Structure 1
Amino acid sequence: MVSNKKRMTALLAIICLLFTVFPQMSIKAETGKTEVTIHYKEAAGNQKDWNLWVWADNLDGHVQPFTGEDEFGKVAHFTLDGTYERVGFIVRNDAWDKDGGDRWIEQIHDGKTEVWVMSGDDEVYYSEPSNEPAIKKASMDHFDEITVTTNVPMETKNAAIELSGADIKEVVPADGESSVTNKFKIKTKGKLDVRGTYKVKIQGYGEQAVEIGGIVRTKEFDRLYYYDGDDLGNTYSRYSTKFRLWAPTAKEAKLVVYERWDDQTGKEIPMKQGERGTWTAKLRGNQDGLLYTYKVKIGDKWNEAVDPYVRAASVNGLKGAVINLSKTDPKGWAKHKKPKLKNPEDSIIYELHVRDLSIQPESDIEQKGKFLGVTETGTKGPNGLPTGLDHIKSLGVTHVQFLPIYDYKTVDETKLDQPQYNWGYDPQNFNVPEGSYSTNPYDPAVRIKELKQMVQTLHGEGLRVVMDVVYNHMFDAVESNFHKLVPGYYYRYNEDGTFANGTGVGNDTASERKMMRKFIIDSSAYWAREYKLDGFRFDLMGIHDVDTMNLVRKELKRIDPTFIVHGEGWDLNTPLAADRKANQKNAEKMPGIAHFNDDIRDGLKGSVFIDQDKGFINGKANMEDRIKKGITAGLDYDKSQATYRDPEQVLTYVEAHDNHTLWDKLELTNPNASYEEKKQRHKLASSIILTSQGIPFLHAGQEFMRTKYGDHNSYKSPDSINQMDWKRNAEFAHEVDYMRGLIELRKQNAAFRMTTASDIKENIRFMDAPANMIAYTIDQRGKRKQEAQFFIAHNANNSAIEFTLPDKATWKVLVDGEHASAKPLYTIKGNQLVVPALSTVVLQRETSMKKRR
């Protein structure tokens, strides 16, 4: 495994990278300039060499120094290329110590803005804050505690402090020490009401209404307000539709109904208080297609938001829609059957973006960029080769895994005549399909029906469907429906009250809280049932907690015992106890949940964070032991570490949508290699993946050595970068056939997909081999005896290696570096073998008299 130091370096690199590139950070820029002036007052005792980290759309994050000082404090004045409606910044130093969290400038007029910020205060002021004593904030943090913050320190012992609506028990400094402070706690005699109205008044400082604070993140809050019903959202029937909203901190709630998606005002219908912090309403009659939102009064402010549980939405997801789901079922939907899957290890996953598959003109697909484009058959590309679905089916993979297909934020569904691209890791409405992939995003039912058609078609072609889910964050925490309806509850927070940011995109959802956990489980179950999906890939799964992931898996297995669950088990810096994180280190606590094995990925080709770093297949020495462990599914036989315990827990891969494609990595690490040499190295990597234990994972286009022309993060790059290149598919037809042969070899021989750690340990034997070469045998056993033996060699040297086989025998050659097949290519006799340079060789000999099927 990689050392902890290297893992931390990689983690810091990805977090910094994510800060600079994700679209959540700003609104799209046009040409022009944006002048920004930021005034910053640092706190006494908090004086460091502070600077700014600034970002905007189409502009990577960068360091911006303070260039002067005034009476308020430090000053930074700078100009950004492009005009922006929103600019983000962090006060930090070069060691990445931060003073506060992410701050946003959202008032920019005529390309200019000037703001003031203070240490310990995340608010952005658009005029210089007054130095007159005042209460900045009063927040209800526990059922008997209010935290008060002032702009000027005060002596709490002698201060005249009043609290309306409750009786004060005592006043204590927040730090528990000095009574001269600008932050203290008011302890109350009785229990506070989350819907109550309270005001703090301090002589000389004025008064401030008490807002909801950390109280919503307490265990007592969850105990009092957890709602375990199955009717959140809207419940439709022909005769009436019921609505139930969970909003325990709201003083009032309203259902707002609209006639059109672009209406600015709607009819407001008061909701009634229900049990456990819920609000209810009922509309009689057939409400199929009704557009609606919720409004809640939090303190003295009204917030309007889309129902988090809504299953259909208007264009751009701006309003929820009531939907008669039975009308969205395509013909034959109820009776169609899923392809069979005996064991998770039988899976071969093919990761695909809906738009990528069909958008190139040479795809011959009519419904370009759409769900329906995935369903088209009979399409031909250059040289008459199959494209689209026919191509995928011909490869022999078992699962197609789609990058996010739920409703995401950054593609404008009203402008689909204009080229727009995004991977979709910017969630908006979790239970609604993405409208840009439908033929009519204005009709809430169309996207649902067409997605079902896609799933049904894939099932009919023998392909199971995996959905990439992103419950770990939302596009914009503050503007999200979660935060508007129950502020402060659904996300994790740092000790200073700022949003946690282990995801690197501005917020982390709090899966450990009961109603967030319930939402993830409910949403997962809904997708699995309604769309008949076969698996989920959890984006940044390490942000979630172990208990939530186990409960998700339990529910999904109850729906479909063959359902597969896997995710990115990276160890991310979120405020959750280390032993509770759903990451690779805790894999043994999550049986039946698979993790991407980044150890074999980087071991094969080099670190994804260091462009020139090499691995086993591109020339790095002493990588044999690391690759051997990957070949055996990363298993820890002696259980000395908390890691994988079963091959179904491991996804073996060398490239995915993230980072450079393998071909582009080879262009960086081996720039002087010939075209043919790079192809051989590429084939060597793929052959190792497809002959290793665990679950193999392939990136769409890997079979024709996909390139993104050096773009390592193409989440919003144009189609010319991201599209499936069917011309390249024709050019690399021989290599595609090689991949097809490897897949068939794996599917036909259980030796390459053993189902237990004990089987792997018992049946795989590594042999002594020259440097930069791995050789081993696999015994394939039937019910009572050994049926066959396989010999596998991976030669990463630039020259052929002569090798002595374990026995003199007649060996069937299945893979020889140029060709791959489940059927013998030819036979060799004896015990001497020449393994070609940069190649994999697979041999088979039968060991029983009974003929194998």
Structure 2
Amino acid sequence: MGAGVCALVTASQLGCSGHTGRFALWAPQAGRVELIERVHPEAEEQRLTPMELVRGDDEQSLWRAQVQAPLGYYRYRLELDGHTVEVADPWSRAITRQKKIGGQVWSVVSDPLPAAAGGKTLSPDSVSILEIHVGDQTSHPSADGQVAGSFEALTNNGAGAGLEHALRLQVDALELLPVASWPFYEQQGVNHWGYMPGYLLAVTHRYSRRWHMTPSGGWLGIDEQGVFHDPAIELRALIERCHAAGVGVIVDVVWNHISAEPSNPLRQLDPGDWLARDEHGQLANHSGCGNDLNSNNPYIRSLLCAAIERLFVEIGVDGVRLDLAEILDDTTLSLLRTRALAVRPDALLIAEPWSLGGYRPDQLAKLGWVVWSDVYREALRDALLSPDRPASRQLCASLSGGAQLPLSPALRHRFALNYIESHDGHPLADACRMALRVDAPHTDQGKAAVTLKLTQLAWALLAVTRGPIMVHQGQAFARSKWDRSHGYIRDTYNRDDEINWIDWSFDPQTQRVIAQAGSWMQARRRWLEPVFRSAQIPHAVLGEQVAALLYSASSASWPEDQQVCPSMVAVLWNLGRDSSSLTLPGRGWRVVFAPDAIQVFAAGPQSQLSLASESVAILVRDP
């Protein structure tokens, strides 16, 4: 069955073709299908068009209709198992929904956007990424955004949030938590983060200009004159503004499961193999959210391919990050990569390589995906929070990039995304506070200073790590997720409040901390990216407390306009609580970046270095 279905689905261009008026629906179980069209979802008059059943060689059902001058909004009415149901199009490029729990959803007749121009190449050798939630960046009153919590506010606010913050931190790219359409309000609560997708091709209204203008029960995206405003255009405009500023954009996509809302068309139309099931026929739940998708199914596979192509071609993203990618089968993962690279050869493709059902970083990396490295995260957290914090070979391996992956040592750093904090779990600063047994932030000034120092040390270690790195919003200034009722909160996916919103009212000390974080990224770009791009494997040097990674460099590693091209670059760190020394081979080492004290002495044919406690430094040796 699979090959025939896949060929049929791919050739038919499912969904609405736009204002040409061609509609196609894959509904294998339907006995009859009608196309319902209205000029507004609440219009009294509607046009009904019977859809024609087309059967492929495998006897599966494809329904088609051709109309003149589509009316703007549409749904399908189907007979399924003796019942009549109405659903929006699972291949909707845009939808409108009522802003309330259980509100109706109508598909919008939407033409493809013109192909996006330009973009930013994000090299897996060294890219630095800032993970953010669009709404959290500008929803706090201190953000002073023109349209709070919106795509627009990320580049139009009075507090230096969003794009300006990324420029201040000098990162290469923003990674946006999910932006596909999802039901914000459900019976079980608020889907704040967006990890309960509804329509994979459509962009969410949650970050549109009209979100706050729409009253409860109103139709999202539709203005007073009945004109529809597609949030995909606002997202694309944001990406264009980021590109103009030299910042790339990655989006987090959730293609392993769907939302639990009863009106989700993938649930209603499921013939029994669109959603994954266990050996007892029950819905699989490797995602922890229920309603896992069966990516082995050709229909679902085609939908995911259409989604990734639209993101790169029409929306103009520079990369994607697959949530819980382990759930997807290898054939689909390979096909998604092929489709993405066909339309965007320099696409950055990132995958979260685990789920409740498995852990597959090695296999996903072999398939060509850059995988989140929990090994790096745990190694750094353990090193920072251990009582003695000795220099360790494990930490050297972590900072050299991808040591845990069964790939070529010269290339494996490109396939491990190194991070120490993300949207999931406790912020690093809160983990430090809990380890120090601080009941609440700022209750113990001495321990608050220790926490800040540890988070700064973690940032510096990330900045000198080979391969792609990611930091999370608020990580640069030791942000906390604490409240009086719950203490330190681990997961805040359902909190659209000040627990998640970023407070931009920084005191002078915090401003200095952010500036130093940006300086580290600048030093990374200036001195480390050139050697990270080479295939040279770093050499580790370990002392009692201080450790170093040495990278050889040739003149070809450096920019053409650089007058002096170092022959070697060294990254040093001392996690101990006292200054300590280390011997490096050769003489002529000079310090190019070290916020804390470091001294270099000649010691015969070698160099002796003394590095301050809890500090990181970058040195070079000229030819």
TM-score (norm 1): 0.63
Question: Does the residue aligned with 1:721 lie in a helix, a strand or coil?
Answer: coil
Contact map agreement 2:410 2:536 (CA 8 A) in 1? no
Counterpart for residue 124 of structure 1: none
Contact 2:548 2:571 in 1 (8 A): yes
Specify the alignment match of 2:443 in structure 1: none
Distance 2:364 2:127 in 1: 20
* Cα distance, 1:642 vs structure 2: 11
* Matched position secondary structure for 1:720: coil
**Structure 1 position 543, deviation (Å):** 0.7
Q: Deviations over 1:497-544 (max 9, x none)?
A: 101111111121111121111111111101211111111011111111
- TM-superposed deviation, 1:225: 6.8
Provide closer, same or farther for how the CA distance between residues 529 and 749 of structure 1 changes in structure 2, counting only shifts above 3 A: same
One-letter amino acid of the counterpart of residue 247, structure 1: A
1:703, 1:735 within 8 Å by CA — same for their partners in 2?
Answer: yes
Tell me the distance in 2 between the aligned counterparts of 1:723 and 1:752: 36
Partners of 1:565 and 1:397 lie apart in 2 by 18
**Structure 2 residue aligned with 1:708:** 481
Q: Give the superposition deviation at 1:344.
A: 2.7
Residue aligned with 1:834, SS: strand
SS, match of residue 682 in structure 1: helix
How far apart, in 1, do the equivalents of 2:164 and 2:144 lie?
12
Q: Give the alignment partner of residue 173 of structure 2, picking from 385, 391, 399.
A: 399
SS in 2 for 1:712: coil
Structure 2 Cα separation of the partners of residues 370 and 279 of structure 1: 37
SS in 2 for 1:457: helix
Residues 1:832 and 2:611 are matched in the alignment: no
Aligned to 2:573: 794
SS in 2 for 1:659: coil
Structure 1 position 439, deviation (Å): 1.7
Q: How do 1:443-458 residues align onto structure 2 when only pairs under 5 Å count? A: 443=222, 444-458=228-242
Mapped pair 1:814 → 2:593: yes
- The one-letter code matched in structure 2 to 1:544 is L
Corresponding position of 1:692: 465
- Residue 815 and residue 643 in structure 1: after superposition, are their counterparts in 2 closer, same or farther (change >3 A)? closer
Q: Secondary structure, in 3 states, of the residue corresponding to 1:724?
A: coil
Kindly tell me: are residues 598 and 225 of structure 1, through their superposed partners in 2, closer, same or farther at Cα, counting changes over 3 Å? closer
Query: RMSD over aligned Cα, in angstroms?
Result: 2.9
Matching of residue 270 in structure 1 with residue 38 in structure 2: no
- Counterpart check, 1:674 vs 2:447: yes
Shift of residue 323, structure 1, vs aligned partner: 1.9
Aligned to 2:105: 318
Q: How does 1:333-348 map to 2 (within 5 A)?
A: 336-341=117-122, 343-348=123-128
1:585 counterpart = 2:362: yes
| Matched letter for residue 708 of structure 1 | K
Kindly tell me: are residues 598 and 817 of structure 1, through their superposed partners in 2, closer, same or farther at Cα, counting changes over 3 Å?
Answer: farther
Contact 2:372 2:416 in 1 (8 A): yes
Q: Counterpart of 1:20?
A: none
Q: Secondary structure at the match of 1:808?
A: coil
3-state DSSP class of the match of 2:235?
Answer: helix
Work out whether residues 204 and 231 of structure 2, in 8 Å CA contact, stay in contact via their aligned partners in 1: yes
Is 2:146 the counterpart of 1:366?
Answer: yes
* Residue identity opposite 2:291 in structure 1: N
Write 1 or 2 for the structure with the bigger share of strand. 1
Letter of the 1:303 partner, please give it: V
Find the partner of 1:649 among 410, 415, 418. 415
- Tell me the distance in 1 between the aligned counterparts of 2:365 and 2:311: 27
| Residues 721/760 of structure 1: CA separation in 2 closer, same or farther (3 Å cut) | farther
CA distance in 2, matches of 1:726, 1:696: 24
Aligned residue runs from structure 1 range 134-533, under 5 A: 220=1, 223=4, 226-227=7-8, 228-229=10-11, 231-237=13-19, 240-262=20-42, 267-276=47-56, 277-285=61-69, 287=70, 290-316=72-98, 318-325=105-112, 336-341=117-122, 343-376=123-156, 379-381=157-159, 386-411=160-185, 422-440=192-210, 441-443=220-222, 444-476=228-260, 479-533=263-317
- Does the CA contact (< 8 Å) of 2:191 and 2:494 recur in 1? yes
In the TM superposition, residue 623 of structure 1 has moved relative to its aligned partner by 7.8
d(CA) in 1 for partners of 2:263 and 2:280?
21
1:749 and 1:292 map into 2 onto residues whose CA distance is: 56
- C-alpha distance in structure 1 between counterparts of 2:90 and 2:410, whole Å: 35
Q: Give the Cα–Cα distance (whole angstroms) in 2 for the partners of residues 325 and 708 of structure 1.
A: 40
Contact 2:402 2:412 in 1 (8 A): no
Gaps of at least 5 residues in structure 2 are: 99-103, 211-219, 223-227, 439-445, 483-487, 559-564
Q: 1:535 aligns with which of 319, 323, 333?
A: 319
Work out whether residues 391 and 547 of structure 2, in 8 Å CA contact, stay in contact via their aligned partners in 1: no
Secondary structure in 1 aligned to 2:48?
Answer: strand
**Residue identity opposite 2:477 in structure 1:** F
Matching residue's letter, 1:696: I
Between the aligned partners of 1:663 and 1:234, the Cα distance in structure 2 is 48
Output one character per residue of 1:727-754: Cα deviation in whole Å (capped at 9) or x when no partner: 2475412221221111111112345762
| Matched-pair contact (CA < 8 Å) for 1:411–1:436 | no
Q: Deviations over 1:546-594 (max 9, x none)?
A: 22111111111111111111021015417xxxxxx8x303134312x10
What is the rounded CA distance, in whole Å, between the counterparts of 1:643 and 1:273 in structure 2? 55
User: Matched residues in 2 for 1:658 and 1:453: separation?
Assistant: 28
Q: Deviations for 1:34-57, whole angstroms, at most 9, x for unmatched residues?
A: xxxxxxxxxxxxxxxxxxxxxxxx
Deviation at 1:652, TM superposition (A): 0.6
Measure how far apart 1:811 and its partner are: 1.3
Distance 1:644 1:478, change over 3 A: farther
Checking the alignment, whether the CA contact within 8 Å between 1:542 and 1:572 is kept in structure 2 is no
Contact 2:319 2:348 in 1 (8 A): yes
Distance 1:787 1:804, change over 3 A: closer
Question: Structure 1 residue 559 and structure 2 residue 324: aligned?
Answer: no
Distance in 2, Cα, partners of 1:780 & 1:697: 25
Distance 1:400 1:730, change over 3 A: farther
Contact 2:76-2:89 at 8 Å conserved across structures: yes
Which 4+ stretches in 1 moved above 6 angstroms? 641-644
Corresponding residue for residue 213 of structure 2: none
Match of 1:663 among 392, 416, 429: 429
The one-character-per-residue Cα deviations of 1:253-312 (angstroms, maximum 9, x if unpaired) are 221223433569954321101243211001102x26x11112222332233221111111
2:394 to 622, 626, 629: 626
From the superposition, tell whether residues 436 and 587 of structure 1 become closer, same or farther in structure 2 (CA, over 3 Å). closer
Task: Spell out, residue by residue over 1:306-338, the C-alpha distance to the aligned partner (whole angstroms, 9 max, x if none).
Answer: 111111111347110102455xx7xxxx78532
Asked if 2 retains the 8 angstrom alpha-carbon contact of 1:751 and 1:779, the reply is no
Indicate the SS of the match to 1:692.
coil
Q: Which amino acid aligns with 1:339?
A: K
Quick one: distance in 2 between partners of 1:310 and 1:753?
45
- Higher radius of gyration, 1 or 2: 1
Q: C-alpha offsets along residues 766-815 of structure 1, whole Å, 9 cap, x if unaligned?
A: 112115x4322222223399833222222221222133333333412412
Q: Distance in 2 between matches of 1:519 and 1:798?
A: 54
Q: Structure 1 stretches of 5 or more lacking a match?
A: 1-219, 413-418, 575-580, 607-614, 819-825, 848-853
For residues 655 and 545 of structure 1, the distance between their equivalents in structure 2, rounded to whole angstroms, comes to 27
Residue 454 of structure 2 aligns to a residue whose secondary structure is helix
Aligned with residue 725 of structure 1, among 503, 526, 541: 503
